Amino acid sequence: MTKLFVTGGAGFIGSEFVRQGVKRGYGITVFDKLSYAGDLERLREVDGKINFLKGDVTDRETVETVLRAEKPDAIVHWAAESHVDRSISDATPFLDVNIKGTQVLLEIAKKYGINKFINISTDEVYGDLREEGHFSETTPLNPSSPYSVSKASADMLGRAYQRTYGLPVITVRPSNNYGPWQFPEKLIPVAILKAFDNQKVPVYARGENVREWLFVSDCAGAVFELLEKGKPGEVYNVGSGEEKRNIDVVKVILKILGRSEELIEFVKDRPGHDFRYSLNSSKIEEQIGWKRKTFFSEGMENTVKWYMDNMEWVKGKIK
C-alpha cells in the first residue's frame, strides 16, 4: 500500500483528496493544525481509516519526528493560508505557513528521501490577464496579493529543491475551486449563505472580474493522476476551461435558490484585485490524460444543494 503524508488534509480541498484517497486504497496520514478553516467534520466519513495527527507545518521538530516515524512514500502538500482578503489585512501568517512551512517540509523530505512531493500552488501566482489569452506553465510569475506572493514563493522553493537537490517535486497550479465543505469566506459559499437567508449578497466593484471555476472533486482527482503519472520537475496547470464573471456566478446561485437579483449589493473593490485568470491545461490533458468531469452548471447545483442540506455546519462557522 502506498503511504501518503497529506498536509492540510482537514481543509476544503485537502479533505476531498483524503476522502478520495481512502476509496483508492491509499494509506493516509493527515497532518493539520486545525486552524479556523480546518475541521475534522470533513473527515468524519473516513474516521478510523486514516491516521490523523495535529501539528503545524512550520514546526520542524514535530514534522521531522512524524515523517521519520510514518515513513511515507509521498507528501501531498495542501496546507496553506489561502484567503486573499485576510492576506491584505495581515500578511504575516501567509509568509509563515505558505513559505516557511513549505521550506520545512521540503528540507525534511530531502533528508528522508521521499519518493514524490506534490506541491500545491495556484493560478494566482501568474498575476492577472485582461480579456484575451491564457496562462501556460511557462508564463512568468507575477503575483499581485500577499497571498499569491507567498504561494509563488512556495512554488519556486519546490522547484528550486527539485533542481538543486534532485528532490522529486511536482508542482500543481489549479484554478479556483468550489464545492461542498468550503469555508464560508469565499465568494460562492458566502453568496449561498446570504441568499439563503434573503440577505444582501456582496459583490466587489461591478462583479466583472473573471475566474476559471473547477469543481473540488475534479481538482483532487487531477492530483491523484499527477501523483501516479506526473513527472518530477514538471509544472501542471489544472483548470476546467469554464470562465465566469463573479456577477454571473452570483446570479446562478440566486436562480438556483429562487431569489431575486435585487439582493446583489456592489461593494468597494478589493485592493489590487486581479481582473481575470485563465489556464491552458492542455499539458495535463495530453500528457496525463486528465480532464475535468464536472461542468459548472452541474457542480453549482450540487454545491448549492449541499450547503442547503448542511446549513447548520455553515452557520456554525460564522462568528
Catalytic residues: 123-124, 147
76, 4 Cβ separation under 8 angstroms: yes
> Measured between alpha carbons, how far is 28 from 7 in angstroms, rounded to an integer?
10
Going by C-alpha positions, the residue among 91, 266, 299 that lies closest to residue 175 is: 299
> Measured between alpha carbons, how far is 109 from 64 in angstroms, rounded to an integer?
9
Listed in sequence order, the residues at least 6 apart from 140 whose beta carbon sits closer than 8 Å to its beta carbon are: none
Measured CA distances, 168 to 140, 246, 260 (Å): 22, 37, 51
> Measured between alpha carbons, how far is 62 from 7 in angstroms, rounded to an integer?
13
Going by C-alpha positions, the residue among 132, 217, 131 that lies closest to residue 174 is: 217
> Measured between alpha carbons, how far is 123 from 151 in angstroms, rounded to an integer?
10
